[in-house]
Amino acid sequence: MATPDFNLLVTLDVLLAEGSVAGAARRLRLSPSAMSRALARLRETTGDPLLVRAGRGLVPTPRAIELRERVSQLVLDSEAVLRPVKKPNLKKLVRTFTLRTSEGFVENFGPALVARVSEQAPGVRLCFMQKPDKGSTPLRDGAVDLETGVVHATTGPELRVQALFQDRIIGVVRAGHPLAKGKITPARFAAGRHIVVSRRGLATGLIDDALASLSLQRSVATIVGGFATALALARASDLVASVPERHTGNLRDGMHSFALPFPTPGLTVSSLWHPRLHADPAHQWLRGCVRDVCAGALFPNL
């Protein structure tokens, strides 16, 4: 069966509303002959005369009367689907957004983000989900609306990405730790007992590569899965934690932080989302909130 010409719905809607070929032609800016041909096509498609002569005018058939309201609603619905999406009324928006982030992101940016969202859209709720891995499945299947983190080789190539800020790895020890005083050299840093943060339980990483280039090696006392845990251990011991500076600002309160005495690659923290949400006005607003909150957060240089 051939696919019907859906443009005929608009023509039928106007014909039934006008009850006149000439009137419908004027409304659609067509010639009377073109409108007559369109009516002929409609009669052929529906198998019904639709409009029949009665004196000098045309009257609808029972089938046309039956179709009138349905056709009108179909045209209105189609126009709504094809019309550009309007900006949402944030004060009336009721929606829950799920964000997959690290503990550090929630600790440092969560309060400002929640406050901003609550002020602009009181009916919006944010659900922060922990990030045990870098897999893209939650974004693909819709379990997560937005994610923040460093783009990884395993990140889905179809995901949309927007850089939020630059970060760097720093060293952190408890107040009163020997490394809290004096110049920190690569050798002094390596001589400490260290905490490694790795979701996969790996004992080495970028810092070890940098130390190896200086013919140094650090002693790893423990491996943990998150920065908050690493800082909690460092706060209560003589262990040395290495964490992202901006991601852990609040978590490091009262501790001594220092720049690493050797270069390490910088980190670009981004927001990630699935393409199906790219044009969604409410999601665009949420992305803007996250971007603005991250851009507005000020962190002193060490």
The 10s digit of each residue's pLDDT in 92-113 is 999 999 999 987 888 889 999 9
The 10s digit of each residue's pLDDT in 40-62 is 999 998 899 998 988 878 888 99
**H helices within the chain, ranges in order?**
7-18, 21-28, 32-46, 62-82, 103-120, 137-140, 186-191, 206-212, 227-235, 281-296
What is this structure's pTM? 0.68
CATH 3.40.190.10 fits 90-167+268-296, yes or no: yes
Q: Shortest CA distance to 290 belongs to which of 144, 166, 100, 116?
A: 116
The 10s digit of each residue's pLDDT in 148-196 is 988 877 777 889 999 999 999 999 999 999 999 999 999 999 999 999 9
In this structure, are residues 19 and 6 in contact, taking their beta carbons and an 8 Å threshold? no
Query: The domain at 169-265 falls in which architecture?
Result: 3-Layer(aba) Sandwich (3.40)
Q: Shortest CA distance to 126 belongs to which of 297, 248, 289, 295?
A: 289
The whole-angstrom separation of Cα 115 and Cα 111 is 6
CATH topology of domain 7-82: Arc Repressor Mutant, subunit A (1.10.10)
Looking at the chain, the domain(s) classified CATH 3.40.190.10 span 90-167+268-296, 169-265
Backbone angles phi, psi at 252, to 5 degrees: -95, 5
- Indicate the DSSP class of residue 114: H
Q: Shortest CA distance to 108 belongs to which of 293, 302, 300, 285?
A: 293
- Give the pLDDT confidence score for residue 2 in this predicted structure: 63
Token digits for 197? Answer: 């943060």
Looking at the chain, the domain(s) classified CATH 1.10.10.10 span 7-82
Residue 11: which region, alpha, beta or left (left: phi > 0; alpha: psi -120 to 50)?
A: alpha
The 10s digit of each residue's pLDDT in 256-282 is 999 999 999 888 999 999 998 998 999
The whole-angstrom separation of Cα 186 and Cα 184 is 7
The 10s digit of each residue's pLDDT in 202-261 is 889 999 999 999 999 999 999 998 888 999 999 999 999 999 998 888 889 999 999 999
The whole-angstrom separation of Cα 57 and Cα 55 is 6
Residue 135 has pLDDT above 80, yes or no: no
Token digits for 2? Answer: 């051939």
Residue 1 has pLDDT above 70, yes or no: no
- Give the pLDDT confidence score for residue 285 in this predicted structure: 96
**How distant, in Å, are the alpha carbons of 102, 172, 247 from that of 166?**
16, 19, 10
Which of the four pLDDT bands, split at 50, 70 and 90, describes residue 18?
confident
Count Cα neighbours of 263 within 13 Å in the Cβ-side half-sphere: 2
Residue 134 has pLDDT above 80, yes or no: no
The whole-angstrom separation of Cα 19 and Cα 178 is 93
Give helix 62-82 / helix 7-18 axis angle, nearest 10°: 130
- Give the pLDDT confidence score for residue 129 in this predicted structure: 92
Which of the four pLDDT bands, split at 50, 70 and 90, describes residue 85?
low
